[in-house]
Structure 1
């Protein structure tokens, strides 16, 4: 029998049927071929590079702002500078201690670390809420170039900034790069074998460890924060090389042409269990076209909520812990200073995230709500631990923080793996981009909630 010629399209695990009813294999990149591993490695590097600036920028901005504090003492801005610079998510590697409360039972910063978190996450939230409805009009190559420019710009702006406003502008650039990159690269996975979702998730987990460690090592080696950021300009370059040189681009990917492509109808893909089963919506969905209308996109979203809502809860709980409670979990009976304890908390959290985001091939979880419940229990326990101070050892807290990271990373990778597996082919690109707003929404809400909680604890005598 003569085989039909099949064009490239977003890849599926389903088989095609020949003209005589004989099953015909779909032209996927087979999992054992070198091209498969090349694409998986490419998405791993894209995940690493995309989140790298976001991870580094909080610590780097803190150090830069501390230097500006000294410059601004004669300009009348010293009070504002001190409050902003002390709100970084990780203590500086310098010997200068942060200001603390003289009356509170806690060793408090002047402002919660959630303040800088909000500056670093709100632009991403805006992008993720709006972009899924228009970003498909922009070819992927232009999106990647914009991610490169904003990531490189964030390092340069913060490195050479002389005022607080310019430094915060650099943080915003890092947020734009991360948000635009996540929504673009998750959408791009629709054109590849589903295994690349695991590669992407593992890479984003690796960004936490490698970003924090590289900044810490370079500054401990004697480089100034400014020079450290300039060295990290290699990361946006690696992102470009991963996308343009490492990935094998299917011809169906809209790369340079400013139009929405349409693909031919394909058969067995419609047999996959969809995320949503609303008849009124499915009747308006064109199975043979990837050019979804606004109404069709709205119809897809309800089917995603069973994964998006639990993911938002998981990220709300874990970032409430990270930005609202970490700095208050201080043990005075150890050899570690408050600054070093905080750094260890962040490092152990990132280690847990990396492990679980790399685990989907070994353990797949469908019930994301269970992870949300466990993370909320973790948050409530640590909240009581901060108030009553009943945990006797820092090592118990460290174990709980690793556990927290494992829950968060597992929720992320399994959410997008489940959506990728269950989405119909014509829905998958939009579904992957729309669902990524869930974690950002949870992070934003946690940042807003952590500030008054921090202020309350620090006001206790």
Structure 2
């Protein structure tokens, strides 16, 4: 995709003040900070932050509840795949037709799917037989469909609301990891709520999305865009009339709408609409091809690497308990996940202050993280768990940076006419990467655990 003169930079660079530099004092930094946010609409930022939070938080809650949903004797990776594959399929296909559905209707559908999915999961008996698990997974699929369609829709919606909408959305999605995992852990442990009560309470969260869209978000830009689109469509249809007709012919044909001539004219218009839809689909397909190498591939790579780490490698990154702050081996994985989510939240909230334009560089650094942690799981050369904490935090930073800067680069570099579709279509990369990592992670965990046991390190069998 080439740069376009009608695009604006999402956020200018804002370097931190350097010690001893009068022009970069903390006072001037504070002034630049205020100037950076001077045109931010609080309603837009609030609405998009909650869109990101609510759209992603149910995904995190479902993964946090995986053990409680299917029991210890059922592969948890199946819950991950049920939570990701429908979202991936939605992101792969929906950008080519979802534009015909108005945003208000989309939001209502997303909320209905999320609520139904969580209610099915919560109200299914807490058994671990095949029928109960299948029913719960059906609820997970509904929630996944809502999350996938929601992500591509809300990212497309940022096209109409400016740079701060993208920053707020990304920050909200980063917060979802911390809020979802933390809320589930606190409610089921600290507060002693049952899994059923916690999931039923979670089913109420999508209502916040309704309030954010219909009560908080200013809808004037969206209505203006809808009017412009309708006007353009009407103009296009008027231009599709093959030949201008004389007044007498016009009067005659207009009075014969039920006749053969009228039906022929209607069929011609319908064929024209079908032709336009097919042309639009082909154009979007070509746009997707142009998005793959600059935007989709680096996002795909970083997600494959980080979710392979999270699902396949971190369960084997264990140390003797006396050398760690933990009392049980099962405490390692939640701690790693919390540290990872903190890194993701910070980096997804960083776009007003820090930009990365070369997306492949952090993607390759993430692949290096995967290589280092896998080698440690094999050969045990990192001396203590605190270094692992730092690497996991760095992993979260890299993942969040690539996510938010991918969409910021699209907003900068893709022409305005293609931007809404491009933002939506590129979301397929994160779900595709998670799907690939889901299969890789299951293989990695089994392989690394068996290797460690063969070397006399049996910690992975104690967690």
The TM-score normalised by the length of structure 2 is: 0.75
Maintained 8 Å contact 1:53/1:174: yes
CA distance in 2, matches of 1:379, 1:128: 26
Q: Unpaired segments of 5 or more residues in structure 1? A: 1-10, 15-29, 67-81, 89-113, 265-288
Q: Residues 37-56 of structure 1 correspond to what in structure 2 (within 5 A)?
A: 37-56=42-61
Q: Unpaired segments of 5 or more residues in structure 2? A: 1-5, 10-35, 126-131, 234-275, 455-463
CA distance in 2, matches of 1:239, 1:292: 34
Q: Structure 1 residues 292 and 338, CA, compared in 2 at 3 Å: closer, same or farther?
A: farther
CA distance in 2, matches of 1:404, 1:135: 33
CA distance in 2, matches of 1:164, 1:212: 22
CA distance in 2, matches of 1:211, 1:400: 22
Maintained 8 Å contact 2:307/2:434: yes
CA distance in 1, matches of 2:288, 2:70: 41
State whether structure 2 residue 63 is matched by structure 1 residue 58: yes
Query: Which residue does the alignment assign to 1:242?
Result: 212
Q: Structure 1 residues 118 and 206, CA, compared in 2 at 3 Å: closer, same or farther?
A: same
Cα offset, 1:371, TM superposition: 0.6
Cα offset, 1:255, TM superposition: 10
Q: Structure 1 residues 262 and 327, CA, compared in 2 at 3 Å: closer, same or farther?
A: farther
- What SS is found at the alignment partner of 1:261? helix
| Residues 21-51 of structure 1: CA deviation (Å, up to 9, x unaligned) | xxxxxxxxx96357x2210111011000000
CA distance in 1, matches of 2:97, 2:120: 29
Query: Which residue does the alignment assign to 1:301?
Result: 288
Q: Residues 20-169 of structure 1 correspond to what in structure 2 (within 5 A)?
A: 32=38, 36-66=41-71, 82-84=72-74, 87-88=75-76, 114-162=77-125, 163-169=132-138
Which of 339, 347, 351 is the equivalent residue of 1:348? Answer: 339
Which of 213, 219, 223 is the equivalent residue of 2:193? Answer: 223
Cα offset, 1:83, TM superposition: 2.8
Which of 410, 420, 424 is the equivalent residue of 2:411? Answer: 420
Cα offset, 1:263, TM superposition: 4.4
Following TM superposition, where does structure 1 have runs of at least 4 consecutive aligned residues deviating by more than 6 angstroms?
254-257, 289-292
Which of 121, 134, 139 is the equivalent residue of 1:170? Answer: 139
Q: Structure 1 residues 336 and 31, CA, compared in 2 at 3 Å: closer, same or farther?
A: same
Maintained 8 Å contact 1:261/1:291: no
Which of 281, 297, 301 is the equivalent residue of 1:313? Answer: 301
| Residues 85-140 of structure 1: CA deviation (Å, up to 9, x unaligned) | xx43xxxxxxxxxxxxxxxxxxxxxxxxx332212110011001100111111111
CA distance in 2, matches of 1:251, 1:263: 16
Larger Rg: 2
The TM-score normalised by the length of structure 1 is: 0.75
CA distance in 2, matches of 1:402, 1:61: 23
Cα offset, 1:455, TM superposition: 2.4
Q: Which has the higher helix share?
A: 2
CA distance in 1, matches of 2:213, 2:296: 27
Q: Structure 1 residues 291 and 427, CA, compared in 2 at 3 Å: closer, same or farther?
A: farther
State whether structure 2 residue 382 is matched by structure 1 residue 391: yes
